[in-house]
Amino acid sequence: MDLHLTNDTPSGAETEAVDSILGAPASGWEGGERKAEREGRAAASGHAARANRHLLLPVLHAIQERIGWISPGALNYACQRLTIPPAEAYGVATFYALFSVHPRPPRVAHVCDDVACLANGADVLCADMARRFGAEGAPAEDGFAWHRSPCLGMCERAPAAMVTVAGAQPATIALAPTDAAAIEQTLFKSDYVKGNGAPSSLARSAPQAGSDELRLLRRVGRADPADLASYRSAGGYRALERALALGPAQVVREVSASRLLGRGGAAFPAGVKWQAVASAPAQPHYMVCNADESEPGTFKDRVLMEEDPFAVIEAMTIAGIATGCEQGYLYLRGEYPLALERLTSAIAQARTAGLLGAAILGGEHAFDIEIRRGAGAYICGEETALFNSIEGFRGEPRNKPPFPTEVGLFGKPTLVNNVETLLNVLDVVLEGGDAFAEVGSEQSTGTKLFCLSGHVARPGVYEVPFGTTLRALIEMAGGVAGSGYLQAVLLGGAAGTFLTPAELATPLTFEATRAIGATLGSGVVMLFDDTVDMQRVLLRIAAFFRDESCGQCVPCRVGTVRQEELLHRLVAEKPLGSVDSELHLLNEVGQAMRDASICGLGQTASSAIESAVARLGQFNGRRN
């Protein structure tokens, strides 16, 4: 294969970074004759290298973490080792926000200015950063820079920032709540520890943690997230033992009987997925845990992974065994350093204890898990984009059909569930599907995690049975903060719907929210008091979708840009024609994206904005 490499060469540190993932280069040539031929073996070909293309993302992470950016020389070397055309690897490297193909200082502060942080002082924080360190993106003499960032998944502790440090011992430090002084202090630390992330305050992140009446949060705050013995003493791995006793087919039947719906936003029946993968004839099967929650306002999966990592591993193991998978991938959001640290430790401890790997608990079933880190791409929360990302391609969605249960990761049947969905399986197995379905409503069974942020007195993750009203949930969290006067609630995230104070009696179920033209989405409940300029919030949502569109399909690539341009005209009070004609055009752009976009990003990119016009009266003279 002609790779068309440039003349750039890697530094020693860049070579070491690539080799840390791929191992040292091996050659069968010893002069005169190939070693393989002398030993009577077939000579190695490029197929082995190309088979490792799925390691491209880990390789790019290694380069970025060692040097601070991905140089042409480093990219050349990675492409030689993996036999990937440099143009393709460049396309992958430029796809992700956490990678840079341009020189960048080794220390970078990523300062969130997304919706939740915007409502909690992000403007002040960014202005202070500019006064202290200069313009955004400009490298300082001391070897650091700062950038505005989309949501970092720490919305309950806004405003938030993340500091990344490149070098022989790279580090990622999450800071929330934070200010410019704390960021400066972190930037100039001299004792960075690889992967360190400040543990979340349970009082702030999960106010109900450890309550007996909970299901998903009951171990949070009770079991030590770093200790397998502590998890087992709190009831951990009883569900796996029960699943092995029931057998794979019965576990799938229990999941179907539970009527468990996916908690990632699409609300697809989990039992249907599990049965389809379990019965798929093609082999092997793969299990993927989608832990790339990048929806602004969403942080529930982060709390679960940080505070109950063994439960995630146990649930993945049950899912893998039940559906005939021997290999699982946990695709983790790149902005979650503490979750990475704790999940990595949990997997290692589980392997040592015979709870992962070959002959799980001494039986006939084998299952193992590999963590793959994302690198800052909202679209990779879409399951087929996630597959492409793992496989070493740009994270662009695939056309469906074929569906992942038939042709998924590496072209094989694949089960994909998000973290919250999987953790529900533990109770489904322990108590039975029928008993699980008795909680909640007919169409929305079990409990649901909601992420409360914005102007709420006690932000954090809350677990309530389906059917709890929006008003009751807000009161549970202490009511409206800020001015105390509620202007709007964003339900479901940036891809969700704005609701008015008059709609707080809505039961939080899939069916009830659907009936009023809203969605539960990923469980976001973001409150805005009456001091918030909602037009600025809408501009930030529009900018988010314009930036996060993968650009593969025209309706989304063009529609998100036109939507943002149109909002800027309305905010500036410079419409092309009348305001009514602009609002009509806004609806037409939204409809085109819903009808023709390949994936859910484009199909929902206008949802919150159109709901703000219809429900909150934005741009048409009415205000709530």
Q: Mind listing the pLDDT tens digit for each residue in 112-121?
A: 999 999 999 9
Q: Are 527 and 455 in contact (CB under 8 A)?
A: yes
Distance between CA atoms of 218 and 229, rounded to whole angstroms?
A: 17
Q: In 10 A of CB 154, how many CB atoms?
A: 28
Of the candidates 15, 92, 26, 10, the residue with the CA atom closest to the CA atom of residue 55: 92
Burial per residue of 410-426, b for 16 or more beta-carbon CB atoms within 10 angstroms, e otherwise: eebbbbbbbbbbbbbbb
Confidence of residue 486 (pLDDT cuts 50, 70, 90): very high
Q: How far is CA 385 from the centre of its chain?
A: 12
**Distance between CA atoms of 209 and 463, rounded to whole angstroms?**
9
Rounded average pLDDT over 372-388: 96
Indicate the helix (H) or strand (E) that contains 545.
helix 534-548
Average pLDDT, the chain: 92
Query: For residue range 491-541, what is the model confidence (pLDDT) as tens digits?
Result: 999 999 999 999 999 999 999 999 999 999 999 999 999 999 999 999 999
In a 3-state reduction of DSSP, which class is residue 26?
coil
pLDDT, tens digit (0-9, with 9 covering 90-100), for 435-463: 999 999 999 999 999 999 999 999 999 99
pLDDT of residue 198: 54
Greatest C-alpha distance within the chain: 84
- Cα separation, 310 vs 324, whole angstroms: 21
- Which residue in 362, 380, 265, 370 sits closest to 325, CA to CA? 370
Q: 158: which residues sit within 8 A by CB, 6+ positions away? A: 112, 116, 117, 119, 120, 121, 122, 176, 177, 453
Counting residues of the chain whose pLDDT is more than 90, the rounded percentage is: 87
Sign of the CA dihedral with 81 first, then 85, 88, and 89 last? positive
Query: CA 540 to CA 587: how far, in whole Å?
Result: 18
Give the pLDDT of residue 42: 37
Sheet of 107-112, strands arranged across: 144-149, 107-112, 161-165, 171-175
* pTM of this structure: 0.94
Secondary structure of residue 368 in the 3-state scheme: strand
Q: What is the pLDDT of residue 498?
A: 97
pLDDT at 27: 65
Strand ranges (DSSP E) for 60-219? Answer: 107-112, 144-149, 161-165, 171-175
What is residue 1's predicted lDDT score, i.e. its pLDDT? 53
More confident residue, 31 or 478: 478
Are the beta carbons of 147 and 125 closer than 8 angstroms? no
Q: Check residue 112 and give its pLDDT.
A: 97
Is the distance from CB of 448 to CB of 522 less than 8 angstroms?
Answer: no
Q: Where are the beta strands (DSSP E) in 122-264?
A: 144-149, 161-165, 171-175
Q: Using an 8 Å Cβ cutoff, are 407 and 239 in contact?
A: no
Copy the structure tokens of residue 588: 């037409």
Is the preceding peptide bond at 177 cis, omega within 30 degrees of 0?
yes
Convert the pLDDT of each residue in 50-87 to its tens digit.
789 999 999 999 999 999 999 999 999 999 999 999 99
- pLDDT of residue 194 exceeding 70: no
Helices 309-322 and 248-258: angle between axes, nearest 10 degrees: 110
Digit-coded pLDDT (tens) for 287-338: 999 999 999 999 999 999 999 999 999 999 999 999 999 999 999 999 999 9
Q: Residue 624's pLDDT band (boundaries 50, 70, 90)? A: very low
Per-residue pLDDT reduced to its tens digit, 1-18:
567 778 899 999 999 999
Q: Residue 471: CB partners within 8 Å, gap ≥ 6?
A: 504, 505
**Cα–chain center distance at 496:** 17
**Spatial CB neighbours of 431, under 8 Å, sequence gap ≥ 6:** none
pLDDT above 80 (res 35): no
Task: Residue 331: name the closest of 339, 320, 323 by CA.
Answer: 339
The tokens for 101 are 């193909």
Contact 368, 355 (CB under 8 A): no
The sheet carrying 486-491 orders its strands as: 460-465, 447-454, 524-529, 486-491, 497-499
Q: Tell how strand 144-149 and strand 107-112 pair up.
A: parallel
How far is Cα 333 from Cα 61, in angstroms, rounded to an integer?
Answer: 13
Asked whether the beta carbons of 369 and 326 are under 8 A apart, the reply is no
Q: How confident is the model at residue 550 (pLDDT cuts 50, 70, 90)?
A: very high
- The pLDDT of residue 200 is 58
**What are the residues facing 162 on neighbouring strands?**
110, 174
Report whether pLDDT(123) > 70. yes
- List the one residue out of 376, 420, 394, 381 whose CA is nearest residue 600: 381
The rounded distance, in Å, linking the Cα atoms of 467 and 509 is 5
Question: If you count DSSP H runs as helices and E runs as strands, how many of each does the chain have, helices first?
Answer: 27, 13
228-281: pLDDT as tens digits:
999 999 999 999 999 999 999 999 999 999 999 999 888 899 999 999 999 999
| For residue 193, pLDDT beyond 60 | no
- Whether the ω angle into residue 103 lies within 30 degrees of 0, i.e. cis, is no
Percent of residues, the chain, with pLDDT higher than 70: 94
Q: Are 75 and 84 in contact (CB under 8 A)?
A: no
Burial class (CB in 10 A: 0-12, 13-18, 19+), 206: buried
User: What was the pLDDT predicted at 581?
Assistant: 96
* Per-residue confidence (pLDDT) for residue 81, from 0 to 100: 96
User: 505, 534 in Cβ contact below 8 A?
Assistant: no
